[in-house]
Structure 1
Amino acid sequence: MKKIYDISLPVCEDTVIYPGDPPVTVRRVSDINKSDLINISEITLSTHTATHIDAPKHLFSHAQGIDRIPLEVLIGPVTVYEFLKLRRIEVSHLQNLPLKAGDRVLFKTDNSFLPRDKFCPDYTCLSPEAAGYIAEVGLILVGIDYFSVDPFVGSDENYAVDSLAVHKTLLSKGIIILEGIDLSQIKPACYELICLPLNLVNADGSPVRAILRDL
């Protein structure tokens, strides 16, 4: 049996969120301990909570929603590449990788070892130039081990003009973004990726349960 690696972050009321996003809340609306017949809970959370997928609609109002992403993009071979001791993943870091059109890639960085109980603004992300290179190659899915492929707004004055440049480049080309994955226990290698979102009609994103399996 193939080994399964869960690369999803847990979701609860203590889940750290990207600043400005709605917090996670869980409310028991039917409780066996209060003489109700069943337990039922109500949850509220952002479509970009914890481990999640960004659909093109995240940035472009008339673009593809999460329910229109072909499942074939979200299931299949993926390669985990490790980049440690970097603030930005640049084109120079990608040019020597055997990337080709149709590939899926996950980037393991120092982000996977950041504290889980607070938001850390100085996380590793992609540069706009690296995003352009990825789009030129023709990848279909890119994943990173923190909340965003772009830098935190205000964390780098060089990105102040367009703080979502990486998102715009990737999503405008239909490249799906998987964010908030936990690769701390994952070795750089090739795996099978399965990351299925909720079937939310016309949504801009969705939390996912993302797993890797040995090929």
Structure 2
Amino acid sequence: MKMIDVSRRLGPDTPVWPGDTPYRYQLSWSMEETGSVNVGQVEMSVHTGTHVDAPYHFDSNGEKMIDLPLDIYMGKAIVLDVSNATEVTASLLEGFSLDGAERVLLKTDTWKEGEPFPETIPSIHPDAASYLASHGVRLLGVDVPSVDPLDSKELAAHHALHTHSIHILEGLNLEGVTPGLYELTALPLPIVEGDGSPVRAVLRYYE
């Protein structure tokens, strides 16, 4: 079974949303102190690296991480190459076969692993949400930090996707991933009050 890790690494140089909590790992106790084990602690935003958004992230009355069914984040997914697009619209998506996949991952190739936080990104036009929903899509994944423009306050794409019951996976690393069908696993943590969660996202070839 060949698996492809499509998660961004978490380390001292992991870029975060400007002004958000930087990633930090440190030892709370060392083996010298405990006599047996190293014990570490992590500090970071739940939107660091590869992560999912809960509706509560952009809607104070929305569901939190603990409320979301896990099957959203596991199953058949299709990777689409939209690397020439500055905006992903319904008309652009009409040029692809979604092949019944409930999960669509968009490869923009605009934010490489190891690069700093981007200044601009391709965004999702709100009309893409209704098109995806009409094809039974339940999860949209992107290889950039957000589905909306980075300076957006309205978050029109977030809200449009939520209106159509499409969940959001952001910050994927799709470098070197060939467009096509895969099995996706990107399980979030059961954070009771969470507006999001980091995930370990993995693809394996669809059989």
Q: Write the deviation string for residues 180-205 of structure 1: whole angstroms up to 9, x where unpaired.
A: 00111210010000001111113111
SS of the residue 2:129 aligns to: helix
Aligned positions of 1:184-195 closer than 5 A: 184-195=175-186
The aligned counterpart of 2:89 is 90
> In the TM superposition, what is the alpha-carbon distance from 1:116 to its structure 2 partner?
2.1
Q: Write the deviation string for residues 31-83 of structure 1: whole angstroms up to 9, x where unpaired.
A: 01456432111111111110001111111122221122111111100000001
Structure 1: where are the runs of 5+ without partners? Answer: 154-159
Gap change, CA 1:100 and 1:192, over 3 Å in 2: closer
> In the TM superposition, what is the alpha-carbon distance from 1:125 to its structure 2 partner?
2.0
Distance in 2 between residues matched to 1:203 and 1:172, nearest whole Å: 20
The aligned counterpart of 2:191 is 200
Gap change, CA 1:8 and 1:147, over 3 Å in 2: same
The aligned counterpart of 2:157 is 166
> In the TM superposition, what is the alpha-carbon distance from 1:175 to its structure 2 partner?
1.3
Aligned positions of 1:69-84 closer than 5 A: 69-84=68-83
The answer on whether the counterparts of 2:124 and 2:147 sit within 8 Å (CA) in structure 1 is: yes
Opposite residue 175 of structure 1, the aligned amino acid is I
Moved more, 81-90 or 131-140: 131-140
The aligned counterpart of 1:118 is 116
The answer on whether the counterparts of 1:78 and 1:105 sit within 8 Å (CA) in structure 2 is: yes
- 145, 156, 160: which one aligns with 2:143: 145
SS of the residue 1:26 aligns to: strand
TM-score by length of 1: 0.88
The aligned counterpart of 1:31 is 30
The answer on whether the counterparts of 1:23 and 1:46 sit within 8 Å (CA) in structure 2 is: yes
Gap change, CA 1:179 and 1:78, over 3 Å in 2: same
The answer on whether the counterparts of 2:8 and 2:50 sit within 8 Å (CA) in structure 1 is: yes
The aligned counterpart of 2:57 is 58
Distance in 2 between residues matched to 1:202 and 1:132, nearest whole Å: 29
TM-score by length of 2: 0.91
> In the TM superposition, what is the alpha-carbon distance from 1:100 to its structure 2 partner?
7.4
Distance in 2 between residues matched to 1:165 and 1:101, nearest whole Å: 25
Distance in 2 between residues matched to 1:136 and 1:19, nearest whole Å: 35
Gap change, CA 1:202 and 1:135, over 3 Å in 2: farther
SS of the residue 2:128 aligns to: helix
SS of the residue 2:200 aligns to: strand
Distance in 1 between residues matched to 2:19 and 2:129, nearest whole Å: 24
Aligned positions of 1:203-214 closer than 5 A: 203-214=194-205
Gap change, CA 1:136 and 1:20, over 3 Å in 2: farther
The aligned counterpart of 2:67 is 68
Would you identify which runs of 4 or more consecutive aligned residues in structure 1 move more than 6 Å? none
Distance in 2 between residues matched to 1:20 and 1:163, nearest whole Å: 19
The aligned counterpart of 1:16 is 15
